[in-house]
Amino acid sequence: MSQSPHLLTPGQSSMGKTAIVAKGLQKRFKTGRTYIEVLKSVDFDALHGDVTMVMGPSGSGKSTLVACLSGLLRPDEGRVKAMDQDLWSLPSGRIDKFRLDNCGFIFQGFNLFPALTALQQVTTVLKYQGYDVAEARRMAMVALDEVGLGHRVNQRPSELSGGEKQRVAIARALAKQPRLLFADEPTSALDGENGQIVTRLLQRAAKEHGAAVICVTHDHRMESFADRVIHIEDGRILDDRRVTSQPAPAAADRPLIGA
């Protein structure tokens, strides 16, 4: 996997900075006549350059939390400040634009269009971001190279293995150089080896590109790649543990002393 210098530069300057802060998130769903409270006043934050894992039992509200943080699901109460914008105060068109500019997603399912080649899956989104055909193609090639699929860019999903499909989905999410990368159980449909490849890719997105990676998982093998592990149970955060030291802000980010 080749290094891609153009992706490195913008990321590192923001290493260690806060990417997203949520305060007092509440979400409840109506089921029949009663409401179930899925998020009960959750406070959350994530830093650029960190892989933040969200773990917890099934039904504890992990996916709901990610949906609220990423602008996909409006919380009933609370605020999300992402990339210095008060996310849920924006009109819905601006929230779309916010996601287009800043967010990458990796889901458990790969959600690739059957008709498109790996390259087209990636360029489709880039074109909506406003890149012209040649530029989108160049960026997509870089991203596919990075996930180790540089030689399979013309394959359609039906000709790719599960792990390869997930890597295409990751390339699709990474090609737009997101500052926020959300993943919901990205490895649960994959075997150990492919799971590890995917985990490493998420880590690289954080370490080399300075993205804030927020990853929901059941997979304890992924834990060893985390900078921070947050445990959530029954809609509350039980435990927030930093595993590695806080990422050091890059040189460019420090105040210039005596210059």
Partner 1 sequence: MSLALATLLYEWRRYLAAIIALAFSGLLVLAQVGMFTGIGKAFTATIDRSPADIMVLGPKAESLMNGGNGLPRRVMAQMYMHPEVVEVADLDGGGGMWSNDPPPGKKRVREWIQTSAVDTRSDAVTWPRDYNENIRVALLEPYSVAIDRTGMAKLGIQKLGDRASINGKTVYIRYILDGYPNMMQPTVVVSRDTLRLLGQASTGSRVGPLMVRIKDPARAEAVRDQLNATSDKAYRAWTRAELSEANDGAMMKESFIGIMLGFSVFLGLLIGVGITSQTLRGAILANIKEFASLRALGVSMGSLRMIVIELGFWTGVAGLAATAVLVGVVAQLAKMGGLPMSFPIPMVIASAGFLMLIAIASGLLALGILKKSQPADLLR
Ligand X SMILES: Nc1ncnc2c1ncn2[C@@H]1O[C@H](COP(=O)(O)OP(=O)(O)OP(=O)(O)O)[C@@H](O)[C@H]1O
Of 61, 54, 57, which is closest to residue 38 (Cα–Cα)?
61
CB of 38 to ligand X, least distance (A): 4
Q: Which is nearer to partner 1, 15 or 230 (CB)?
A: 230
Of 14 and 187, CB closest to ligand X = 187
Q: What's the distance, CA 249 to chain centroid?
A: 20
**Is 165 an interacting residue with respect to ligand X (CB under 6 A)?**
no
Q: Which stretch binds ligand X (CB under 6 A): 56-64, 90-98, 171-179, 195-203?
A: 56-64
Q: Which two tokens stand for residue 46?
A: 């994530």
- The DSSP 8-state label assigned to residue 224 in this structure reads T
> Looking only at residues 39 through 98 of this chain, which bind Mg ion when binding is defined by CB under 5 A?
63
How many CB atoms neighbour CB 255 within 10 A? 5
- The residue assigned the tokens 């006549």 is 33
CB of 140: closest distance to partner 1 in angstroms?
14
Cβ pair 56, 232 in contact under 8 A:
yes
* 3-state helix vs strand vs coil in the chain, percent to 5: 35, 25, 35
Distance CA 112, CA 109 (A): 9
**Smallest separation, CB 197 to partner 1 (Å):** 21
The residues in 10-39 that bind ligand X, with binding defined as CB under 6 A, are 29, 31, 38
Residue 121 binds ligand X (CB under 6 A): no
Q: How many CB atoms lie within 10 A of CB 9?
A: 12
Nearest approach, Cβ of residue 133 and partner 1 (Å): 11
Tell which one of 12, 14, 52, 64 touches ligand X (CB under 6 A). Answer: 64
CB 172, min distance to partner 1, A:
7
Which among 224, 248, 251, 214 has a CA at the least distance from the CA of 54? 214
- Near ligand X by CB under 6 A: residue from 12, 14, 52, 63: 63
Give me the residues that bind ligand X (CB under 6 A), please: 29, 31, 38, 56, 58-64
Give me the residues that bind Mg ion (CB under 5 A), please: 63
